[in-house]
Amino acid sequence: MITTAWKQGSGSIWRAGMWSLFGALLLAPLIAMQLTQEVRWTGFDFAAAAVLMGALGVFVEVACRVVTRPLARAAVLAVLLTASLLVWIDGAVGIFR
């Protein structure tokens, strides 16, 4: 049986903040598209960003519940964030092609 590091209701402010930040990050290009011609996202771009941020959010939730030691949790979160940023950067400019 897996014990969880977070108790029910614990960290709800952080979780709400994380999901709110992801929502704001999705709204930023939508707003920028209304203000300038430099930003041109398609529906696929928004869907890909939503899937990437949603997957990151789910993995962060699971990592914070399963990993109990603070240093190990920080390391796991750093790896998750780095991997997500690499995928985002590659999708934006094709750095690994």
Question: Could you count the other beta carbons within 10 Å of the beta carbon of residue 18?
Answer: 17
Q: pTM (2 decimals)?
A: 0.79
Q: What was the pLDDT predicted at 96?
A: 77
Residues 6+ apart with CB under 8 A from 46: 26, 29, 30
- Among 25, 91, 95, smallest CA distance to 57 is for 25
Q: What pLDDT shows up at residue 8?
A: 56
Task: Kindly report, residue by residue over 12-62, the tens digit of the pLDDT.
Answer: 888 899 999 999 999 999 999 999 999 999 999 999 999 999 999 999 999
Q: What is the DSSP letter of 67?
A: -
In this prediction, residue 95 carries a pLDDT of 79
CB-based contact 65:4 (threshold 8 Å) = yes
